[in-house]
């Protein structure tokens, strides 16, 4: 059962990467008090709308290989993720595919999982707190201790599996966060509350300050695809 979320205000733009979970994600966002608009990734003018949006942008889930440069959808979304990381100052939250694309922009490798997770409920350490969440992914970002330390020097915190190195979540001091799991899934017990907490952190006045040169969208750890 989803816990009650904190009350937020403003207008969130959700970018749909062709995933049926997007409607549920929009519902969870509305439950926090936000006005929500959903736009498909390939709608004419979407890129400009996203970059001009005054409010949080949510780069949502979707099928496909995030490392496939021959896929027009992945090229478009990867480029948009890079520009949002660099220029958007009103909060950025990435979910599943969006999270993978953001992680790649930060320089982390994206690997195919040995066993896809489609409806897998797991207990994870999320930034020092135990959470029960639901995963639906075939690919995952990977981060070792050296890369985590390099990201930390740029103000980016990584939550990952201590054994496999798979990245569960990322959050930056300059207004962005991403989660590999689906917070809108019934398998994520505190999904609405987690969304509200992450959005509150990425839209805070401190997060709205521009990052230092080389921090956003620059392949910080030097291993992006």
* Chain mean pLDDT for the chain: 92
pLDDT of 73 strictly over 90: yes
pTM of the model: 0.92
Q: Which of 53, 88, 96, 100 is catalytic?
A: 96
Secondary structure string (H, E, C) spanning 7-40: CCCCEEEEEECCCCHHHHHHHHHHHCCCEEEEEE
Asked if 182 is an active-site residue, the reply is yes
pLDDT of 136 strictly over 70: yes
**176-189 pLDDT tens trace:** 999 999 999 999 99
Asked if 83 is an active-site residue, the reply is no
Task: Tell me what percent of the residues of the chain surpass a pLDDT of 70.
Answer: 90
Where b means 16+ CB within 10 Å and e means fewer, 113-122 reads eeeebeeeee
pLDDT of 166 strictly over 90: yes
Q: How far apart are the first and last CA of the chain?
A: 37
pLDDT of 2 strictly over 60: no
């Amino acid at each position: 059962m989803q816990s009650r979320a904190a009350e937020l205000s403003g207008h969130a733009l959700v970018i749909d990467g062709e995933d049926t979970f997007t409607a549920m994600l929009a519902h969870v966002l509305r439950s926090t008090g936000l006005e929500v608009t959903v736009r498909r990734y390939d709608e004419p003018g979407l890129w400009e709308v996203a970059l001009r949006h005054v409010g949080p942008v949510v780069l949502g889930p979707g099928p496909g290989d995030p490392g496939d440069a021959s896929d027009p959808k992945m090229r478009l979304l990867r480029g948009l993720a890079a520009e949002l990381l660099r220029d958007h100052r009103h909060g950025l939250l990435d979910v599943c595919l969006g999270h993978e694309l953001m992680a790649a922009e930060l320089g982390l490798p994206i690997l195919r999982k040995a066993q896809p997770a489609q409806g897998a409920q797991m207990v994870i350490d999320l930034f020092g707190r135990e959470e029960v969440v639901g995963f639906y992914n075939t690919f995952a970002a990977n981060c070792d201790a050296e890369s985590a330390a390099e990201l930390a020097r740029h103000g980016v915190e990584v939550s990952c599996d201590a054994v496999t190195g798979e990245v569960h979540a990322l959050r930056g001091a300059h207004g962005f966060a991403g989660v590999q799991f689906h917070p809108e899934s019934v398998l994520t017990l505190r999904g609405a509350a987690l969304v509200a907490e992450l959005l509150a952190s990425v839209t805070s006045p401190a997060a709205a300050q521009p990052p230092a040169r080389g921090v956003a969208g620059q392949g910080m750890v030097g291993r992006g695809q």
